[in-house]
Amino acid sequence: MIDTSRNEEKAPRIPPSQIGSTVPVSDNPEAIGALVAVTIDGIETRVPFGMTILEAAKTVGVDIPTLCNHPDLKVAGVCRMCVVDIEGQRTLQAACVYPVTNSLTVSTHTRKVRKARRHVLELLLSEHYGECYSCVRNGNCELQSLAEEYGITSFTFGHPQESQFEPDFSSYSVMRDMDKCVRCRRCVRTCIDLQEVGVLEAINRSDDTVIATFEDLPLGEVVCINCGQCVNRCPTGALYAKDETDAVWAAIDDPTKHVVIQTAPAPRSAMGELFGLEPGTAVTFEMNTALRRAGFDSVFDTNFSADLTIIEEGTELVQRLYGALVAGDKDVALPQFTSCSPGWVKYLEHFYPEYLPNASSAKSPQQMFGALIKTYYAEKLGLDPANIVSCALMPCSAKKFECNRPEMHDSGFKDVDFGLTTRELGKMFKEAGLHVPSLPKSDFDDPFGTATGSGVIFGATGGVMESALRTVIELVTGEKVESIYEHGDIIPVRGFEGVRYAEITISKVGPVPEILAHLVPDWEWLNGVTVKVAVAHGTANAKKVMDDIKAGGKFSECHFIEFMACPGGCLGGGGQPIPTTPEIRAARARAIYSEDKAYDVRKSYENPAVARTYADFLTDGPCGHKSHELLHTTYTARGKYIPQK
């Protein structure tokens, strides 16, 4: 039995076919579904009551420029780039916040409008210190693009000759250069509304307004979770991820170093965007070739350690459930939370530290791989781990913080030396003259070359949960997951709703597989149990779930919950190509699920490379002493959370 009920309601939606149609205007224009007549630049159309002029213009192919507006964020109307002329009104109005509630005639490019927009740009540039050539957003800056579109060739109101702000390099993940800030407040709205972290705010008033942290502390000293969502929505170079490409190039150029890289699934669904391809065009195997030509000695698939994570995290969940349901241990921390999103883990540490025992002790796939690279891999190749430089291609700026956490040295060295974002690696490829889409395809390197579809879908929200369920269902019931879900696709945990909930009743159990035989004698204690799971993406949605758990709501009855810090999961990570929109994230998700279907093996426990790793190296099995030493941050015994000593 599956309950796919959700805790969110969707607002009534106008069928797309009716927008811009000749459907008559309702006698009651405020009625749900009513259409209102509007004329934009001489084009007559009808749009839903309350739609903004900015949105209405898009329905008839009219582009109105903006700086503060973003499809992921609540409207603000602070930049005034989108001003339009409305017949009968004395002043220009901001199209992004002006709702169509009655018939309007709108002009979007009169002389008055064009002059106003040009002045807005010139005023912004009068406070914008620096030049474009050395800016991290050169060629992908919204302010730069608008200045070009409006023919700004001089600084009418002057131009700063010296910096007004000290750059903030205190964070491992996110850098701040407030000399380039246009005070659009996108970062503020991202941090407060989208993520509900609240690190950034606008302080002071009028031309003294600045974007600052609490008490104007450095970003590395406040409760920033390093998710980088502010970076993805900043229109200029005021916010950017820490760039470590020079250090990686130095390692590649050093003949004494053996430089390896692991690549996560989400960047492979987005890298093509940096080379002009449509979002959702995967370049997985072309990228492998590019990495070798760039100088990396070995190219590995993070999907391998994603499969390993499922085995370790799933085994830990079995231990916890056995402790709670069989041993009657009331101290078992349930529900178990996923721990592979470093932004989510940091959010939990800051805002709900009392629930840290609920977090899985399993490291993220990035860190598991890093620990194995400098132990298992080094042993197999006879390499000195001190001479191995371990890099990770990740969609996430928080991964930079994660690999610098003090507990991530279980190999005896820093497990992962450098976390590279999709944007950083794309820059490296271009610097090396490598046009990724035109390169031949090549596979990943052994001994970790084999991966599964379960590892691939880690890149999308719900992917960790689906991967876990594919494995758990088969190991517990002894039946193929395809007999329960068509093609093995567990649709109830997929999608972009903020929070998803599902129930799975185990009506049959099989024998305990050999890999778990040392943990439980049989599965009879699970026979008839309804396993309750949930998925949340974006920390604002995580907050809803956590507050519900604190209040003793339905999520407190879950056994396993997947949390991802970023909207859409890793495919919407803070290191992915800019821009990001709901449509772009959906396209990346399609690429990830398409790649999943292409794999012959789609369950983590069937990955032969994972089985070989347990047989050759992690010989005491999942959640054994060796795996706890390298792949976990805490010990878990009978479901209890016991800090590692």
User: What does the DSSP assignment read for 177-207?
Assistant: -GGG-----HHHHIIIIIS----EEEES-GG
What does the alpha-carbon distance between residue 316 and residue 410 come to, in Å, rounded to a whole number?
19
Residue 34: the pLDDT is: 87
Closest C-alpha among 570, 567, 566, 574 to residue 240: 574
Residue 561: the pLDDT is: 98
Q: How many CA atoms lie within 13 A of 526 on its CB side?
A: 28
May I ask the CATH architecture of the domain 305-364+450-639? 3-Layer(aba) Sandwich (3.40)
Radius of gyration of the chain (CA): 26
Q: Which of 402, 466, 474, 562 is catalytic?
A: 402
Percent helix, strand, coil in the chain, to 5, is 40, 15, 45
Q: Which of 340, 391, 403, 623 is catalytic?
A: 340
- 486 in active site: no
Residue 578: the pLDDT is: 98
Q: For residue 536, list its beta bridge partners.
A: 499, 563
- 366 in Cβ contact with 207 (< 8 Å): no
Sequential DSSP letters for 330-366? TT---SEEP---HHHHHHHHHH-GGGGGGB-SBPPHH
- 570 in active site: yes
- CATH 3.10.20.740: which residues of the chain? 16-109
Q: Which of 360, 361, 411, 467 is catalytic?
A: 360
Phi then psi for 521, rounded to 5 degrees? -75, -30
Contacts of 598 (CB under 8 A, 6+ apart): 453
Strands (E), 521-595: 530-537, 560-564
- 407 in active site: yes
- CATH 3.40.950.10: which residues of the chain? 305-364+450-639
Residue 33: the pLDDT is: 62
Q: For residue 20, list its beta bridge partners.
A: none
- Crossing angle of helices 284-294 and 422-431, in 10° steps, is 60
Phi then psi for 192, rounded to 5 degrees? -85, -50
Dihedral Cα 147, 271, 579, 499, nearest 10 deg = -170
Residue 18: the pLDDT is: 46
- CATH 3.30.70.20: which residues of the chain? 121-241
| 16-109: CATH topology | Ubiquitin-like (UB roll) (3.10.20)
May I ask the CATH architecture of the domain 121-241? 2-Layer Sandwich (3.30)
- Rounded to two decimals, what is the model's pTM? 0.92
- 402 in active site: yes
What does the alpha-carbon distance between residue 466 and residue 462 come to, in Å, rounded to a whole number?
6
Closest C-alpha among 587, 292, 336, 229 to residue 428: 292
- 431 in active site: no
Residue 445: the pLDDT is: 96
- 583 in active site: no
Mean pLDDT by 10 residues, the chain (645 residues): 37 42 45 84 97 97 97 95 97 98 97 97 95 95 97 94 95 97 97 97 92 95 97 98 98 98 97 97 97 98 97 95 92 96 97 96 97 98 98 98 95 97 98 98 92 95 97 95 94 97 96 90 95 98 98 98 98 98 97 94 95 96 94 59 36
Q: Which of 55, 142, 273, 316 is catalytic?
A: 316
Residue 518: the pLDDT is: 83
Q: Which of 363, 399, 544, 603 is catalytic?
A: 399
* Exposure string for 590-621, b = 16+ CB within 10 A, e = fewer: ebbbebbeebebbbbbbbebbeebbeebbeeb
What does the alpha-carbon distance between residue 529 and residue 274 come to, in Å, rounded to a whole number?
47
Containing 86, the helix (H) or strand (E) segment is strand 83-86
Q: Which of 313, 466, 474, 595 is catalytic?
A: 313
Containing 505, the helix (H) or strand (E) segment is strand 499-505
The token duo for 444 is: 């990943």
